Amino acid sequence: MPKVTKQTRDSRVRLIRSMKSSNTSCARLGIIALLFFTAGVSQSNASATLLLEEPYGHLGAFTQTGHAAVYLDRVCADTPTVLRRCADGETGVVISRYDKVGGYDWLAIPLIPYLYAVQSPEDIPLFANPKLVAFLRDQYRRKYLEEIAPDDKDNNGEPPEGNWTQLIGSAYDRTIYGFEIQTSETQDDNFIREYNSRPNRSRFNLLTRNCADFARGVINFYYPKTLHRNLFADAGITTPKQMARLIVKFGGRHPELEPSSFVIPQVPGSVLRSTPVHGVVESVLKSKKYMLTIAILHPVVAGCLLAGYMGVDRFDPAKHAMVMDSGPSLAPPLASAERRSYADQLHLLARLDPQLKIKRIQKAWESLQQDGEPELDPEGRPMLKMRVGNDSVDVGVARDNILSTPAPPALTGELLAARLHEELKRGDAPKASQTEVNSDWDMLQQVLPQQAKLQ
């Protein structure tokens, strides 16, 4: 299990206390791998974490409700469809409902692969582009998911199309929020027995049997009648944000379950950024084209939607949240003053080294990565083979190989500066932990020419 530092423990205590003192305590819905990153908790003191995942891509522009899943840190799986108790050293699974994936209703994936499509924290990329993400997903699929997502026989064995990509590498596509509550050994054993015995056949329906409905069923199995739909704010549809809001309220009423929350930032890179998660009515109200049409054609309906939305307390999933880093552990987010200080130093570096000018970094970020071909190094960690002039060089993209591959220091520095630039951006949710930014800054200093280093 990952380490929990004294700083992390103290921060969690402060977080729990702040949640106890607030009725609307920091709604964190995205049940993502809570204890794997909360680390250091024994198997006799396990948890269930609701993961609230931001929307992305074309579907995210249409419906902003996102995705819901549940992370169980004492429940593991022999296969994605057969659950069992975890052995020592295992970190549990993320379980969720998917549409048209292998004909199953639910699938369970180990935490790190679910987030990053790799098997260990040492292999997690510092940055990613669409080609690297597709490569890592396909590598994992060929090893562990061939039965669920077999090669496309009509396309020379290429990866199949479909929603199987949602099973692995979720943190490349979106920011994820996790909300944890404790569970008991008896509850976990009952859950394993019950879900292994149920028919596991796809019954997905966007309106009545979606991913949030499944997450609701899992949490209610542990704590009956905890989660439910909201007739007014979501038109009776179960949404991930409503589930997160309710689990935060439930945790506030039951401090003995040691509720806590955290955020898993989207991996920096040229993959499109995810967008804030909303409920059904909230999505309509915040979409000008939809709301304007409804207001003109059906003003009464528009008024009802507004009334339903105003009747629901505002929920911020990032409020008071810790940040999961690649340690893996939970750490405090970067404070505003620290963020500004690092940003100022990055600008100063750009004056000392023209390679690090912010405008150049922003333009080069996508081209640098899209020109590279993803591969694995001898230890199985991801890297990019890139053209530098007339030469082809290997560029490490994981924390453990970015400084050991023969890439020119200037290229490595540019990539690290681009990652820092992304981490230091303002946003609704933290983009990096204090620990991660410190580590990234130290690596950047190691590859800078002597005249560009800050004393």
Same domain, 166 and 249: yes
Same domain, 232 and 355: no
- Answer whether residue 94 is part of any domain: yes
pLDDT: which is higher, 412 or 23: 412
Same domain, 255 and 297: no
Number of domains, the chain? 3
Instruction: Return mean pLDDT, the chain.
Output: 81
- Answer whether residue 281 is part of any domain: no
Confidence bin at 356 (pLDDT 50/70/90): low
Confidence bin at 34 (pLDDT 50/70/90): very low
Tell me the residue range of the domain where 309 lies.
288-313
Per cent of the chain over pLDDT 90 is: 50
- Answer whether residue 435 is part of any domain: yes
Q: For residue 11, is pLDDT > 60?
A: no
- Answer whether residue 386 is part of any domain: yes
- Answer whether residue 358 is part of any domain: yes
pLDDT of residue 203: 86
Same domain, 184 and 254: yes
Q: For residue 377, is pLDDT > 60?
A: yes
- Answer whether residue 126 is part of any domain: yes
pLDDT of residue 329: 77
Same domain, 264 and 371: no
Average pLDDT of span 31-59 = 64
**3-state secondary structure labels for all residues of the chain:** CCCCCHHHHHHHHHHHHHHHCCCCCCCCCCCCCHHHHHCCCCCCCEEEEEEEECCCHHHHHHCCCCEEEEEECCEEEEECCEEEECCCCCCCEEEEECCCCCCCCEEEEEHHHHHHCCCCHHHCECCECHHHHHHHHHHHHHHHCCCCCCCEHHHCCECCCCHHHHHCCHHHHCCEEEEEEEECHHHHHHHHHHHHHCCCCCCCECCCECHHHHHHHHHHHHCCCCCCCCCCCCCCCCCHHHHHHHHHHHHHHCHHHCCEEEEECCCCECCCCCCCCCCHHHHHHCCHHHHHHHHHHCHHHHHHHHHHHHCCCCCCCCCCCEEECCCCCEECECCHHHHHHHHHHHHHHHHHCHHHCHHHHHHHHHHHHHCCEEEECCCCCEEEEEEECCEEEEEECECCCCCCCCCCHHHHHHHHHHHHHHHCCCCCCCCCEHHHHHHHHHHHHHHCCHHHCCC
pLDDT of residue 143: 94
Same domain, 112 and 154: yes
Tens-digit pLDDT profile for residues 77-93:
999 999 999 999 898 99
pLDDT of residue 96: 97
Q: Which of 23-27, 331-335, 336-340, 376-380 has the lowest mean pLDDT?
A: 23-27
pLDDT of residue 4: 43
Same domain, 297 and 204: no
pLDDT of residue 207: 84
Average pLDDT of span 57-66 = 67
Average pLDDT of span 1-28 = 39
pLDDT of residue 440: 94
- Answer whether residue 1 is part of any domain: no
Same domain, 161 and 301: no
- Answer whether residue 173 is part of any domain: yes
Same domain, 79 and 215: yes
Tens-digit pLDDT profile for residues 299-338:
544 455 555 555 455 788 988 889 987 766 788 998 889 9
Same domain, 295 and 250: no
Same domain, 225 and 306: no
Same domain, 309 and 337: no
pLDDT of residue 45: 73
pLDDT: which is higher, 6 or 75: 75
